[in-house]
Chains A and B, each alone.
Chain A
Amino acid sequence: MAKIRVRYESGEPERVIEFDPREAPFQHDGRPASILDVLVGHGIPLEHACGGNCACTTCHVIVKQGFEKLAPADECEDDLLDKAPGLTPTSRLGCQAVIEDPDAEVVVVIPRYTINQQT
Chain B
Amino acid sequence: MAVELEARVARIVEHGPDTRSLFLHGQRLAYRPGQFISCLLPVGGEMLIRPYSLASDPEDEELEICLDLVPDGPGSRYLYGVRPGAALRFTGPWGTFVLDRAHDAETVFIADGTGIAPIRPMIRRALATEPRHPVRLLYGTASEDRLLYRAELEGLAAGRSPFRFEHVPSAALRDQVARRWIEDDTGRSRHFFICGVGQIVPTLRDLLRGAGYERRAVQYEKW
Q: Are A55 and B223 in contact (CB under 8 A)?
A: yes
Q: Mark A52-95, 1 if CB is under 8 A from B, else 0.
A: 11111110000000000000000110011011000000000000
Interface size, A (range): 20 to 34
Q: Which B-chain residue is minimally distant from A119 (CB atoms)? A: B30
- Let me know if A105 is at the binding interface, CB within 8 A: no
Task: Output the least CB separation between B203 and chain A (Å).
Answer: 12
Which residues of chain A are within 8 angstroms of B223 by Cβ–Cβ distance?
A: 53, 55
* Choice from B30, B96, B205, B216 contacting A56 with Cβ under 8 Å: B96
Which residues of chain A are within 8 angstroms of B92 by Cβ–Cβ distance?
A: 49, 117
Q: Are B38 and A50 in contact (CB under 8 A)?
A: yes
* Choice from A45, A55, A82 contacting B51 with Cβ under 8 Å: A55
Q: Are A50 and B36 in contact (CB under 8 A)?
A: yes
Which residues of chain A are within 8 angstroms of B38 by Cβ–Cβ distance?
A: 49-51
Interface size, B (range): 20 to 34
- Let me know if A29 is at the binding interface, CB within 8 A: yes
Task: Output the least CB separation between B1 and chain A (Å).
Answer: 6
Which residues of chain B are within 8 angstroms of A51 by Cβ–Cβ distance?
A: 38, 48-51
Q: Are A75 and B205 in contact (CB under 8 A)?
A: yes
Q: Are B96 and A118 in contact (CB under 8 A)?
A: yes
Which residues of chain B are within 8 angstroms of A54 by Cβ–Cβ distance?
A: 222
From known contacts A53-B223, A55-B95, A116-B94, infer whether A47 and B2 are also in contact, taking CB-CB under 8 Å. yes
Contact surface of B with A, Cβ cutoff 8 Å? 1-2, 30-32, 35-36, 38, 48-51, 91-98, 202, 205-206, 215-216, 220-223
Sorted nearest first, the 8 A-B pairs with minimum C-beta distance are A83-B96, A49-B38, A49-B94, A50-B51, A119-B30, A51-B49, A56-B94, A56-B95
Given contacts A52-B49, A56-B51, 20 further A-B contacts (CB under 8 A): A47-B1, A48-B49, A49-B51, A49-B95, A50-B38, A50-B51, A51-B49, A53-B51, A53-B223, A55-B51, A55-B222, A58-B2, A79-B220, A80-B96, A116-B94, A117-B92, A117-B93, A117-B94, A118-B96, A119-B30
